[in-house]
Amino acid sequence: MEKRQKIREKRHEAYLRRKSTGWQATYYWKNKRARKEKMDAAKEAIRAEDQAKGIYYHPKQRKEQKDEEELIAMDA
């Protein structure tokens, strides 16, 4: 328990130092970019998996499919 508290205090002190010097904003945006890239990669992998299973569709793809179905219905 005491070990956790020391680590927490040490991290908080580092945060306060970054904040006082102005580096916190740089630190935040740098890490935000890395987190966003990781999240986008994970989303893309899930999307590709769903497309392979036939679960996922893009709204534009769905509209094009409806248009094709309407044309086929008109021809019949």
CA distance 47 to 62: 15
Residue 27 CB burial class (10 angstroms; 0-12, 13-18, ≥19)? middle
What's the CA gap between 12 and 19, in Å, rounded?
10
- The rounded distance, in Å, linking the Cα atoms of 19 and 27 is 10
- Over residues 11-21, mean pLDDT: 91
pTM, two decimals, is 0.43
Encode pLDDT of 37-53 as tens digits. Answer: 999 999 999 988 888 88
- pLDDT computed for residue 74 by the predictor: 67
| pLDDT (mean) for 20-46 | 90
